[in-house]
Homo-oligomer: A and B are copies of this chain.
Amino acid sequence: MDVADGGGYMSGVRVAGIGLTHFGQHPERPSRDLFGEAGLAALDDAAIEREDVEALMYGNFMGEISDHQGHMGPLVAEAVGLDVPATRFESACASSATAVREAVMNIRSGEQDVVLVGGAERMTNISTPDATEALALAADDLYEVSAGMTFPGAYALMARAYFEQYGGSREDLAHIAVKNHYNALENEYAQYRREISTEDVLDAPPVAEPLGLYDACPLTDGASAAVLVSEEYAEANGLDASVAITGTGQGGDKIALQDREFLARTPAARKAATEAYDDAGIAAEDVDVVEVHDCFTIAEVMATEALGLYEPGEGIAAAREEETTREGPHPVNLSGGLKAKGHPVGATGTNQIAALTRLLRGDHPHSDAIADSPTAVAHNAGGTAASTAIHVLEEAQS
């Protein structure tokens, strides 16, 4: 039953507060410690006491490897000082967006009124080859990883398929990296706050042809959190919770690229977007601003197409013609995206929610760049988008 089909639900969902650590290199801090900081900041931002939180939903991907730690739900609950049911979600790089989705559903159902949701990842305490191998846990071990596949290689294949089918070039993709670095300049939480040029991108060492170092997001340590509450709770407690999560969608796909019909399309994201838009009662044309999962530049192109901002094959021209800059018709990744803001994988989904919440509340450096009361969409993808969760955020109707 789809809520948009008249199922209805008991309560709307509001973002009462968000919290972030700095994204960057913090190899000395276990992810529990990173999440403690973000979680407490979110509670503080929401003006909610620990005692009022009813559940914790936590996204983390590679803690078994980098922290030598599983079973992180109760561990990070303790870091925030919470005595609540705490569950860890693992959907590779979409881990915290799937946690957000379950929190939204639980609040809608009336089972919970106040949920702390978030994620963290420590990645730079292990070597880059080890981190690359850990990230490959999100690919198909039997059919991809055992044959030497890594994520730069997988996305390079997707880029090649895209170029082959639709045209496009490394120069076109470079615009995305340049834009995202520019957007991150004023983001105080971002890993990289420096401008880069198209030449920098093209001159960077290759990672997996046609992708170079600047086509790839970095390894990042960081955490993000959000306090989600029911509309009724926000109103009854006089919370300043002006942002609503009005749509949620999740889609799946075969993990192994070899099992897919066409490498340069992400049907899981398309399905998730369709569900999320239906859920929110919007159409793709209504979307004003998006945070998408640009783990590689080509991923941003495919994301804008899956979200329906551009037709298949037209996203590359949109990047080339700078339609997705903050001045363009479809601003993408005003936060700096994974490319410049950084990508602590388990934290990225909630970080997108946090960035869009700041935009909607007007306390983001780029809030002025967008229309009043925008419709905002967060797109968080796991692996080569075999898991994708999408959320719609809008100004709450009060």
Contact = CB atoms under 8 A, between A and B. Distances in A.
B387 A69 contact: no
A141 B106 CA distance: 31
A141 to B, nearest CB: 4
Interface residues of A, number: 67
**Copies of this chain in its oligomeric complex:** 2
Interface stretch (A82-90, A186-194, A201-209): A82-90
Interface in A51-96: 55-56, 61-62, 64-65, 67-75, 77-78, 82-92
Contacts of A87: 89, 91, 98, 102, 250, 387
Given A84-B252, A255-B75, A141 B111 contact: no
Nearest to A114: B1
A105 B107 CA distance: 10
Contacts of A386: 71, 74
A58 to B, nearest CB: 10
A86 B387 contact: yes
Contacts of A141: 67-69
10 contacts: A9-B110, A10-B10, A62-B70, A68-B137, A71-B138, A74-B382, A85-B251, A87-B91, A89-B90, A105-B109
Contacts of A108: 109, 111
Contact of A61 (B70, B255, B387): B70
Interface in A8-67: 8-10, 30, 55-56, 61-62, 64-65, 67
